Chain A
Amino acid sequence: MQPAIAVRELTKSYAEGSAKVAALRGVDLEVRSGELLMLVGPSGSGKTTLLSIMGCILTASSGSVQIAGREITGLSEKELPAVRLQNIGFIFQGFNLFPTLTAAENVELMLDLKGVPAAKSKKRAWDLLEQVGLGGKQDSFPSDLSGGQKQRVAIARALAGEPQIILADEPTAALDSQTGRNIMQMMSELAHERGRSVVIVTHDSRVLGFADRTVKIEDGLIAPSEVHEPAVPAGLLVHGMSQPTLNLA
């Protein structure tokens, strides 16, 4: 089975003044369907750059990137938004919700981008928010929601386009421990019960136990001894938590 994401010999360099900075120096990585992969490493190691390239937000300097078996490295800037829209959902550290839109409208925005008719998108948005435990909050504005609730709206929005790949940049950084665990439980279910490929960049050591695989990035390379695969999938370790999780009924 082909991997959902495959990067080969990936490099990325930035110009900083007259100097050239190598953010990634030859990364090889595959992410399988139904896998929750965590990218860890010190600040400036290249984690977010790698995530951005996987997410077709940044283009690589060299190397190959395949999304769902399709080579995307040769695509133009105009073609990349369509790849993101069809295949990838994003979850951000700062939630990145639109403050003047309600929770449901934030989710509907993704559906509007995909051309879903208004009546259908409203129903789907409401259903998705129910699934992430926000029934009754569909008409709330982001300013009326807690951090955990905002991140649930962000998850619902990321899922609205039915992407195969979910990319999350520090999704628990702005959340307390319990809320962070609840969010990670949802991410784990997205991978293990919905078959999505979930890639998370994190500094949060509290959530590493949820990963199927942890990859450490250092100085733009995958540290050779730092690929951990837990003996028991993290989804099983946290099975049975009583906190609100995804309702997959």
Chain B
Amino acid sequence: MLLAAVLGLVVGFVVVAQTIYATTVDHLKEFGTLKAMGAPNSYVYRVIIKQAAISAVIGYFLGMIVSMFVVHASQKGGAAILLPLPMAVGMFFLTLVMCVGAALVSINKVTRLDPAMVFRG
């Protein structure tokens, strides 16, 4: 069970990292423009981290809605699934840490972004 949970976490991390990375690459021109306007790297990092945190919060609540349905349905079956409040809260913070950690890959991409690219049409 623990192995399945860890695998789930790893897969989730990779999927989130790829999604945020793809979004960042799609918006490189905007990030380049921000840097050309004079935004320090810290400002750009905040944008990416905020994006990751918002995704984490929305994803967590959507996931919890589905989980609550599954937990509720399992009560009628032979093996009830338990989701105690401390676990739910812990999952929230884990989700947040996972998403923000996954955003670090994108931050690296943007840090190395050449702002002169804004002049290339």
Contact = CB atoms under 8 A, between A and B. Distances in A.
- Same complex: yes
Q: Kindly state the interface size class of chain B when it binds its partner.
A: 10 to 19
A48 B119 contact: yes
Contacts of B121: 93-94
B34 to A, nearest CB: 8
B30 A98 contact: yes
A43 to B, nearest CB: 12
A130 B30 CA distance: 25
A155 to B, nearest CB: 14
A85 B38 contact: yes
A93 B40 CA distance: 23
A15 to B, nearest CB: 14
B115 A57 contact: yes
Given A57-B116, A58-B116, A96-B29, A90 B40 contact: no
B118 A84 contact: no
B37 interface: yes
Contacts of A84: 36-38
Contacts of B29: 96
Contacts of A51: 119
Grouping DSSP codes into helix (H, G, I), strand (E, B) and loop, the B interface class, with mixed when no group exceeds half, is helix
Interface in B95-121: 115-116, 118-119, 121
A92 B30 contact: no
A75 interface: no
Interface in A46-64: 48, 51-52, 55, 57-58
Contacts of A113: 34, 37-39, 43
Q: Kindly state the interface size class of chain A when it binds its partner.
A: 20 to 34
B36 to A, nearest CB: 6
B54 to A, nearest CB: 14
B119 A82 contact: no
Nearest to A82: B38
Contacts of A120: none
Interface string A4-48: 000000000000000000000000000000000000000000001
A230 interface: no
B116 A78 contact: no
A211 interface: no
Contacts of B38: 81-86, 88, 113, 161
Given A92-B118, A93-B121, A55 B36 contact: yes
A117 to B, nearest CB: 16
B40 to A, nearest CB: 5
Given A96-B29, A96-B33, A78 B40 contact: yes
Contact of A57 (B34, B36, B39, B40): B36
Contacts of A57: 36, 115-116, 118-119
Interface in B25-50: 29-30, 33-41, 43
B119 A85 contact: no
Contacts of B115: 57
A92 B34 CA distance: 13
Contacts of A189: none
Rank and list the top 6 A-B pairs by shortest CB-CB distance, nearest first: A85-B38, A84-B38, A96-B33, A81-B38, A57-B115, A81-B40
21 contacts: A52-B119, A57-B118, A78-B41, A81-B35, A81-B39, A81-B41, A82-B40, A83-B38, A86-B38, A90-B118, A92-B118, A96-B29, A96-B30, A96-B33, A96-B118, A109-B37, A113-B34, A113-B38, A113-B39, A157-B37, A169-B119
